[in-house]
A and B are shown apart, each in its own frame.
Chain A
Amino acid sequence: SQQGEEDPQALSIQEGENATMNCSYKTSINNLQWYRQNSGRGLVHLILIRSNEREKHSGRLRVTLDTSKKSSSLLITASRAADTASYFCATAPLPSGGYNKLIFGAGTRLAVHP
């Protein structure tokens, strides 16, 4: 069963605008990660936020985590056409049983238009 659900499923914006994607999950987690996938290619890790963290930044990316609401958001500021991709959240649920498996959501397809 899918743990993480991204919202929206698709997002279309103009270059320079900010893009916000949300992820909701169902169980307690060790950490939550965001990945990017360019069309038909492998996933690339963007950022990891631990369950005891509330916000994290990496370049133009800002991730927040609200464990009380079991939700996370990914903000991409000043978007570029090269940001066009699918974005997936992945949760590492607890208890892990010694294995921090990842459960991926269905993703948000982001299109950034020049």
Chain B
Amino acid sequence: DADVTQTPRNRITKTGKRIMLECSQTKGHDRMYWYRQDPGLGLRLIYYSFDVKDINKGEISDGYSVSRQAQAKFSLSLESAIPNQTALYFCATSDEREPNFSYNEQFFGPGTRLTVL
């Protein structure tokens, strides 16, 4: 979905490096999410944010941190990357405000393929 953009699209880094993945959206949605996808597995939630001041851990938050710099921007950081963080990372948004309440239909960015050597 072109309304949700992620940078970079591909990144190769080394163990121990700090990495930041960025997500921007022009949909005006209040909620933003970070997921990771591993081969043969579904998406697993890392962090989610209801608004700028509300950040919540998902099921696999260890080793990650996030920052919601503005309603439209949500970044994911790997403080010290390790090889098992090699995965495809997706940002998503949803609009849960009335009257646009969506039952959490989510809109995904194109993904960032991260390789940690």
- A residues sitting closer than 8 Å to B (CB atoms) are 2, 4, 30-31, 33, 35, 40-45, 48, 50, 88, 92, 99-107
Contact = CB atoms under 8 A, between A and B. Distances in A.
B86 to A, nearest CB: 14
B48 A101 contact: yes
Given A44-B108, A106-B40, 6 more contacts: A33-B104, A42-B90, A43-B106, A45-B107, A103-B42, A107-B42
Contacts of A99: 48, 50, 56
Contacts of B43: 43, 88, 104
A92 B106 CA distance: 12
Contacts of A45: 105-107
B45 interface: yes
Given A100-B96, A104-B42, A107-B42, A42 B1 contact: yes
**Range of interface residues on chain B?**
20 to 34
A33 B90 contact: no
Interface of B: 1, 4, 35, 40-45, 48, 50, 56, 88, 90, 92, 96, 103-111, 113
A44 B1 contact: yes
B101 to A, nearest CB: 9
A100 B103 contact: yes
Contacts of B109: 42
B42 A2 contact: yes
A35 B43 CA distance: 11
B103 A92 contact: yes
A100 B104 CA distance: 6
A106 B108 CA distance: 17
26 contacts: A2-B42, A4-B42, A30-B103, A31-B104, A35-B108, A40-B111, A41-B110, A41-B111, A42-B1, A42-B109, A42-B110, A43-B92, A44-B1, A45-B107, A48-B105, A88-B42, A88-B43, A99-B56, A100-B96, A100-B104, A101-B48, A104-B35, A104-B42, A104-B44, A106-B40, A107-B42
